[in-house]
Amino acid sequence: MAYSEKVMDHFANPRNVGEIPDASGVGEVGNSKCGDIMRMYIKVEGNVITDCKFKTFGCGAAIATSSMATELIKGKTIDEALKLTNKAVMEALDGLPPVKVHCSVLAEQAIKAALSDYYTRLGVDPTPIVGVIQECDHDHGCGCESCN
Amino acid sequence: MKIYADNAATTALSPKVLEAMTPYLTEIYGNPSSLYQIGAVAKDAVESSRETVAKLIGAKNPNEIYFTSGGSEADNWAIKGVCKALKNKGKNHIITSKFEHHAVLHVCESMEKEGFEVTYLDVYEDGLVRPEDVKAAIRPETALVTIMYANNEIGTVQPIAEIGKICREAKVLFHTDAVQAVGNVPINVEEECIDLLSLTAHKFHGPKGCGALYVRKGVLIRNLIEGGAQERSRRAGTENVAGIVGLAKAMELAIGSMEDRAEKLTKMRDRLIDGLLSTIERSRLNGSREHRLPGNINMCFEGIEGESLLLKLDLAGVSASSGSACTSGSLDPSHVLLSLGLPHEIAHGSLRLSFSDDNTEEHIDYLLKVIPETVEYLRSFSPLWDKIKSE
């Protein structure tokens, strides 16, 4: 298993690390039992995500995909952010080893979770807009609900 | 600074070992089974290496040593060979521990498919098998007890002599995977009542691809590799002459310098353990410190994940591991750490450092600086660490 140069770059120098104190939405996915948790903070002004930061517990790929996902949605409209797929995150990182693909799914879900929180705070039901957030997509018998 | 601290995964080939091997990779290329001169010289080298290996583990007879391709083959052969030989004698039970190397665990699982029942003994928080548990698990139909000499991840050294005695008294065969132990702790198969023992050269500065299985005279064992009449018709395949010479030479050097090295490495190890435990909050040493290989450290740091720690340390010049190199493609936390009763989220944050004679006190100084810095950095953006801190 080897990471691409881009993955290593985003792991070694992650972009947008930290918290946004007055965030418009905060989303968290993953769980400690599986070995990765991503928390995304977004600041929305008008219809645009003006800032995005993350905190991640996880492997190199989890940190790199979090970093890349924040880069991909920063300055974008909500509609554009909602269209972000794990595939786009992977492609932007020049690929991920097969066992690490779930990290890119987690990054996509973390963005959606933050947007979901944004709508909830506005008093809007997020499910029709954002969809259902999956906590864990990988089946490795870690014992979490999704695996079971 | 560049620090190689993953000697439990593999070691650097010793220049003296390479020197001993070189003639057998160049001018003495003859097949040991051939009658002419360069074959006979190669044969002599294999046989004198066999004598050396036998002597170094306290075997009575050089013919009890069989050269293999490494530790995994030796483990496979020991377990499959004994079980298949004893199956038609009414034996269908194996006793092992929960934290064996996969070269033992997966073989035991495959024997389950062949009708064997396997008892997986607990290893408790200290990472030690209890001899009384072995005794209690033995049944009339037990074919084999297989317990590793020293654990590959946490370095805990098992009470092998006590287990050997129990097995001998119960007339049950006893195999030990001593891959991590040879060259690091004194071993004597006679005194410790060991019937079969696996070892491999690359863990003590020998070459990769060469190991050995000790099989006590009189032990019934089926062949694993069938073919030619090499190794007294017990293990087919043209001998890896250079590898065998390298194995014997490396073992001689490792065991010859074992006492001094153990003293040095234990001191370095303990300084690092104490330093890390005192500077990094919510850190722990996994497994007994007292019954531990001199050069092994295995710790968990709460709130961070092992792979990111390793990658960050690699960028800082440190080659380490989060557990076994053989399971690095897996997402699951180490089965060894889980067997100690550690919860998944803590087991994910493990770091194994394993030292050799090439490591120095300067390395320890550097590690005492770089590991706490790295843990602190990763915790600074870990949502799990936020949760732990707010508890």
pLDDT in tens, B49-62: 999 999 999 999 99
Q: Which two tokens stand for residue B268?
A: 């370095």
Average pLDDT of span A25-44 = 94
CB distance B143 to B94 below 8 Å: yes
A114 has a pLDDT exceeding 70: yes
User: DSSP state, B199?
Assistant: E
Which residue out of B167, B193, B210, B326 is catalytically annotated?
B326
ipTM metric? 0.92
Most B CBs within 10 Å, among A10, A37, A53, A57, to test the B interface:
A57
Select the residue of A33, A57, A138 nearest B382 (Cβ to Cβ).
Answer: A57
Residue B172 confidence (pLDDT): 98
**pLDDT of A147 higher than 90:** no
Centre a 10 Å sphere on the Cβ of residue A113 and count the other Cβ atoms it contains: 25
Global confidence as pTM: 0.93
pLDDT above 90 (res A7): yes
**Mutating which of B328, B331, B335 best tests the A interface, going by the most A Cβ atoms within 10 A?**
B331
**Chain B residues 329-368 with a CB less than 8 Å from chain A:** 329-333, 343-345, 348
- To the nearest whole Å, the CA of A45 is away from the closest chain B CA by 25
Could you give the 3-state DSSP secondary structure of residue B24? helix
Low-confidence ranges of chain B (pLDDT < 70): 323-331
Residue A17: closest CA among chain B residues belongs to which residue? Answer: B381
pLDDT at res. B370: 98
How many angstroms from the chain centroid is the CA of residue B235?
22
Separation between Cα atoms, residue B128 and residue A92, nearest integer Å: 47
- Cα-Cα end-to-end distance for chain B: 38
Q: Is the CB of residue A118 less than 8 Å from the CB of residue A42?
A: yes
Q: Which residues pair with B283 in a beta bridge?
A: B301
Q: Can B83 be counted among the known catalytic residues?
A: no
Per-chain mean pLDDT for chain A: 91
C-beta atoms of B308 and A1 within 8 A: no
* CA of A132 vs chain B CAs: smallest distance (Å): 22
**pLDDT the model gives residue A137:** 52
Structure tokens at A81: 């952010």
For chains A and B, count residue pairs whose Cβ atoms are closer than 8 Å.
72
Task: State the distance between the two ends of chain A, measured CA to CA, in whole angstroms.
Answer: 27
Secondary structure (DSSP) of chain A? ----HHHHHHHHS-SSBS--TT-SEEEEEEETTTTEEEEEEEEEETTEEEEEEEEEES-HHHHHHHHHHHHHHTT-BHHHHHT--HHHHHHHTT---GGGHHHHHHHHHHHHHHHHHHHHHTT---HHHH-PPPS----S---STTT-
Q: How far is B385 from chain A (nearest CA, A)?
A: 8
- Give me the pLDDT at residue A148, please: 38
Q: Is A34 a catalytic residue?
A: yes
* Residue A54, CA atoms < 13 Å, CB-side half-sphere: 37
Query: How far apart are the CA of A141 and the nearest CA of chain B, in angstroms?
Result: 8
Q: Give yes or no for residue A42 having a pLDDT over 70.
A: yes
With an 8 Å Cβ cutoff, are B344 and A33 in contact? Answer: yes
Residue A1: what pLDDT?
65
Which residue, A114, A133, A95, A120, is CA-closest to A53? A114
**Is B384–A37 a contact, with Cβ atoms under 8 angstroms apart?**
yes
Closest residue in A to B327 (Cα) is: A1
CA distance B326 to B203: 14
CA distances from B311 to A114, B58, B76, B191, B378 (A): 28, 42, 33, 44, 11
Give Cα A31 to chain centroid, integer Å.
Answer: 13
CA A86 – CA A90 distance, rounded (Å): 6
Going by C-alpha positions, the residue among B352, B126, B306, B297 that lies closest to residue A32 is: B306
In tens, the pLDDT along B72-117 reads 999 999 999 999 999 999 999 999 999 999 999 999 999 999 999 9
- Residue A99 confidence class, pLDDT cut points 50, 70, 90: confident
Classify each residue of B301-314 as buried b or exposed e, where b means 16 or more C-beta atoms within 10 Å of its C-beta: bbbbbbbbbbbbbe
